[in-house]
Chains A and B, each alone.
Chain A
């Protein structure tokens, strides 16, 4: 009887295509290596869940190790926009002819986050099975599952190169939040010279802090930002209308994760009295007649420290 059960279980696992977990680790290591060494050019579709809606666009990605270049395809509102990372700095060239946006490279951070997840044997387990053909290449599916058995990520990996051909990310309850899929890809292509060079003249580049100051001036906000000594670097800045109010949004990245600083036009609701979202800390305060909110993974005490380091200039 026991033998029959074992045979049935083995048969069902084989039917699903799952193989032994030990085989997953070498493939995960190959993925981590490829994040900094892979060379390819490809076209991919990116999808993100935003509220109840899914946001989708297509882009062409060239990658040469830590250097990347992303070009947005026709039909996208980002058409004509180009993002270049030379491994250290990031440049965004918009077709509108505005100044070239310059900031710290992002790709390294995303790669580090994925590498940390794949290497965290205490929090995550790996599963592996044979996958389908993606962008004309064979794949194996690597699943990252948390201790509770909830799927965190699913990667379709090209086994010889370790390149991730398709990726799906899931929320805390296992809901698919977003991902990408290559429609076509060429491994180890011959890149045009200068493809990853910083674009334009240095004088035409506007560092992110300068953009923050200009935007604050134009939109009537305080030119307030977190101190660069606090361990977080300003990554993106924008003005958005949120819940009917104009808000200056600043995204910061650091070793401790991502924090978002919001500056609201006028003090209003007492936000500090509200409960923070699970897994996130929340700190709100007022200064010079403005409301500020800081949200991020670091504990609330750390956010208060960052808030105290706010620089206005």
Chain B
């Protein structure tokens, strides 16, 4: 029987000396892997906190926009209400003073504000 033909590369590979990986290199690799493993949660936490901060900032911006709009609406309502009071007041008081004219400067509220219950008690 003829022996099967052997490839020269195979022979060359067999001829190479068998080498065990260095234990020092392996230990270094293990340490590095451990370090990487420790670093990952920190990175994850950092990424998560960044995301939360971004969300908070977006929330704050949104709140500011809403608050600003609500503030603008409240202000506009007050301005319109005061104008309506002037219109009505001039019709009612004629040449007399409007409640808002109790003093030229001062607070927005006239000093003599009566409630419905006060009037009912009269």
Residues of A within 8 A of B (CB): 46-57, 59, 61, 68, 70, 72, 76-78, 81, 83, 85, 90, 92, 101, 105-107, 109-111, 113-114, 167, 169, 177-180, 211, 215, 218-219, 236-243, 245, 247, 249, 251, 253, 257-258, 260, 262, 268-271, 273-274, 277, 280, 282, 293, 295-296
| Residues of chain B contacted by A113 (CB below 8 angstroms) | 90-91
Task: Flag if B72 contacts A271 (CB, 8 Å).
Answer: yes
A-B contact pairs, 14 of them (CB 8 A): A46-B93, A48-B85, A48-B88, A50-B85, A83-B96, A92-B101, A110-B91, A180-B93, A236-B100, A242-B79, A242-B82, A260-B83, A273-B72, A280-B83
A223 to chain B, nearest CB (A): 15
Task: Flag if B88 contacts A293 (CB, 8 Å).
Answer: no
Task: Flag if B88 contacts A269 (CB, 8 Å).
Answer: no
Within 8 A of A (CB), among B70-122: 71-76, 78-83, 85-108, 110-116, 119
A36 to chain B, nearest CB (A): 12
Q: Specify which of B85, B97, B100, B106 lies most central, judged by the most chain A CB atoms within 10 Å of its CB.
A: B97
Q: Given A55-B99, A77-B111, 17 more contacts at CB 8 Å?
A: A54-B119, A59-B96, A110-B90, A110-B94, A113-B91, A237-B104, A239-B106, A240-B100, A240-B107, A242-B78, A242-B108, A245-B75, A253-B90, A269-B69, A269-B72, A271-B72, A295-B79
Which of A54, A215, A247, A268 meets B116, CB within 8 Å? A54
Contact status of A167 and B72, CB under 8 A, knowing A78-B102, A295-B79: no
* B68 on interface, CB distance cutoff 8 Å: yes
Contact status of A49 and B88, CB under 8 A, knowing A106-B94, A236-B98: yes
Contact status of A240 and B108, CB under 8 A, knowing A48-B99, A55-B113, A55-B114: yes
Task: Flag if A169 contacts B75 (CB, 8 Å).
Answer: no
Q: Chain A interface secondary structure, helix, strand, loop or mixed?
A: strand
Contact status of A114 and B105, CB under 8 A, knowing A53-B114, A83-B96, A274-B72: no
Task: Flag if A68 contacts B80 (CB, 8 Å).
Answer: no
How far apart are the CA atoms of A236 and B103 in the complex, in Å? 11
Contact status of A268 and B71, CB under 8 A, knowing A238-B104, A242-B78, A258-B87: yes
What total count of A-B pairs have CB within 8 Å?
Answer: 168
Which of B82, B94, B115 meets A249, CB within 8 Å? B82
How far apart are the CA atoms of A78 and B74 in the complex, in Å? 29
Interface size class, chain B = 35 or more
| Residues of chain A contacted by B101 (CB below 8 angstroms) | 92, 236, 238
B94 to chain A, nearest CB (A): 4
How far apart are the CA atoms of A167 and B89 in the complex, in Å? 13
Task: Flag if A269 contacts B86 (CB, 8 Å).
Answer: no
Task: Flag if B100 contacts A238 (CB, 8 Å).
Answer: yes
| Residues of chain B contacted by A53 (CB below 8 angstroms) | 113-116
| Residues of chain B contacted by A59 (CB below 8 angstroms) | 96
Q: Identify the closest chain A residue to B115 (Cβ).
A: A53
How far apart are the CA atoms of A243 and B109 in the complex, in Å? 11
Task: Flag if B80 contacts A280 (CB, 8 Å).
Answer: yes
Task: Flag if B95 contacts A70 (CB, 8 Å).
Answer: yes
B120 to chain A, nearest CB (A): 10
Task: Flag if A260 contacts B71 (CB, 8 Å).
Answer: no
Task: Flag if B76 contacts A282 (CB, 8 Å).
Answer: yes
Q: Identify the closest chain B residue to A179 (Cβ).
A: B92
B92 to chain A, nearest CB (A): 5
Q: Identify the closest chain A residue to B71 (Cβ).
A: A269
What 6 A-B pairs come out closest when comparing CB atoms?
Answer: A269-B72, A107-B95, A110-B94, A243-B75, A240-B108, A260-B83
